[in-house]
């Protein structure tokens, strides 16, 4: 009986180190790492897909400015809608990656008490030139993810600033 009592006491003494719940900071770090990893993996998927496609025309596109988690979530939702086009079947993995990333951004926004808008609805668009649409969509996603990765340090610093309820990137 004494051995059982000693075991229970030792278990209770050690338990707080092994059973502590993650802190808000741990959750934020984990979310940011997941977002970064998904963006990097998606860029590898895009690079792999580009090797299977004919040479793309040179496109000049403007990346939307990133104002915070709300704008990132909105923009990723819009890109996900474009990736669901019937002409972009090749994008199924990239679409899944963008969807997953958008979900992680939403989760991070909730963790830092940032307001999030509903997911954007898919809109019917004219796809008279499916090949052009394919290249434009792929380039939009690539540029946007590269831009997010370039600004991830700003997201990290602002996400941990308890005085700022909304995370803004400039």
**Which DSSP string do the residues of 53-86 spell out, in sequence order?**
SPPPPP---PPPP--SHHHHHHHHHHHHHHHTSG
Whether the predicted pLDDT of 43 surpasses 80: yes
| pLDDT at position 165 | 39
| pLDDT at position 168 | 42
Task: Tell me whether residue 121 is exposed, middle or buried, using C-beta atoms within 10 angstroms of its C-beta: 0 to 12, 13 to 18, 19 or more.
Answer: exposed
Q: Are 93 and 45 in contact (CB under 8 A)?
A: yes
Model-level pTM? 0.72
Whether the predicted pLDDT of 117 surpasses 60: yes
All domains in the chain, ordered by first residue: 22-159 (1.20.1250.10)
């Amino acid at each position: 009986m004494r051995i059982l009592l000693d075991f229970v006491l030792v278990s209770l003494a050690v338990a707080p180190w092994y059973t502590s719940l993650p802190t808000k900071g741990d959750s934020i770090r984990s979310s940011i790492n997941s977002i970064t990893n998904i963006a990097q993996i998606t860029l590898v998927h895009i690079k792999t897909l580009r090797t299977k496609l004919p040479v793309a025309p040179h496109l000049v596109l403007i990346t939307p400015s990133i104002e915070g988690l709300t704008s990132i979530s909105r923009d990723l939702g819009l890109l996900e809608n474009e990736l669901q086009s019937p002409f972009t079947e090749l994008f199924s993995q990239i679409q899944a990656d963008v969807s997953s990333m958008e979900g992680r951004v939403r989760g991070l926004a909730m963790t830092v008490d940032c307001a999030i808008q509903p997911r954007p609805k898919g809109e019917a668009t004219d796809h008279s030139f499916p090949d052009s649409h394919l290249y434009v969509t792929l380039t939009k996603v690539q540029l946007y993810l590269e831009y997010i990765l370039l600004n991830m340090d700003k997201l990290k610093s602002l996400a941990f600033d308890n005085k700022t309820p909304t995370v803004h990137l400039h």
